[in-house]
């Protein structure tokens, strides 16, 4: 019900577990990264938050992290795997993970599998983008994405960051908004060597 109401429901599992199966509309912010930092940047002050984890310990650890940044009144919590928590199997989703080699191939041939990249979205910081980026990429830092989703052109979005954590969070926001996304789960340092056109222009 909270997912359907558009509330912030956060999946605390790592990105590979999220990609394999998750509840439609859930936001991926795994405990294996700076979950509280990113959530604190993205949500509106006072917005209700529900945590979903594999174990009680995972949820408790997330609560402690969030309390440190002033988020201490949770709307709720749930423990279990997506298939156990879904009231309707039709609410289960999966997200494709790929590497920069796959992105390079998709830019050459948009008819392959996974689906070709209509849009490359870079969700790194402004400084990271200025240093080097994929030629033609749309740049929206993760902490601005929620309010700028309407700026992303139509089509399949291949989203990347520096290593995959932020890209997975961004893909979950895109999917929450009804968009199709592929996560580049790879280090950006590998992009040029993989054949992706990279520039500092």
195 and 100 in a common domain: yes
Instruction: Quote the percentage of the chain above a pLDDT of 90.
Output: 84
Q: Is 11 helix (H, G, I), strand (E, B) or coil?
A: strand
Each residue's pLDDT tens digit, 144-167 = 999 999 999 999 999 999 999 999
Instruction: Tell me the H-state helices in the chain.
Output: 15-20, 35-42, 56-68, 82-85, 100-108, 126-131, 142-148, 165-176
43 and 131 in a common domain: no
Q: Is-contact 96 114, C-beta < 8 A?
A: yes
Between CA 24 and CA 87 the distance in angstroms is 11
Crossing angle of helices 35-42 and 56-68, in 10° steps, is 60
Which residues constitute the domain of residue 60?
8-93
According to the model, what pLDDT value does residue 141 have? 99
Domain of residue 51, CATH code: 3.40.250.10
Each residue's pLDDT tens digit, 106-123 = 988 765 566 667 899 999
80 and 100 in a common domain: no
pTM: 0.93
- Average pLDDT of the chain? 93
Please choose, from the candidates 181, 151, 184, 178, the residue with its C-alpha nearest in 3D space to the C-alpha of residue 166: 184
49, 78, 93 - which closes a domain: 93
């Amino acid at each position: 019900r909270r997912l359907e109401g558009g509330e912030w429901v956060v999946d605390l599992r790592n990105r590979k577990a999220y990609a394999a199966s998750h509840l439609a509309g859930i936001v991926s912010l795994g405990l294996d990264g700076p979950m509280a930092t990113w959530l604190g940047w993205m949500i509106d002050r006072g917005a209700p938050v529900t945590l979903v984890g594999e174990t009680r310990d995972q949820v408790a650890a997330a609560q402690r992290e969030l309390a440190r940044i002033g988020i201490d009144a949770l709307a709720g919590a749930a423990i279990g795997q997506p298939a156990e928590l879904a009231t309707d199997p039709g609410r289960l989703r999966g997200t494709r993970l790929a590497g920069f080699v796959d992105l390079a191939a998709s830019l050459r041939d948009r008819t392959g599998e996974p689906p070709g990249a209509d849009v490359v979205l870079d969700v790194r910081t402004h400084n990271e983008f200025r240093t080097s980026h994929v030629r033609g990429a749309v740049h929206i830092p993760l902490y601005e994405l929620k309010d700028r989703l309407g700026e992303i052109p139509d089509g399949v979005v291949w989203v990347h960051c520096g290593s995959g954590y932020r890209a997975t969070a961004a893909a979950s926001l895109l999917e929450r908004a009804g968009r199709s996304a592929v996560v580049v789960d790879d280090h950006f340092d590998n992009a040029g060597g993989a054949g992706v056109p990279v520039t500092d222009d």
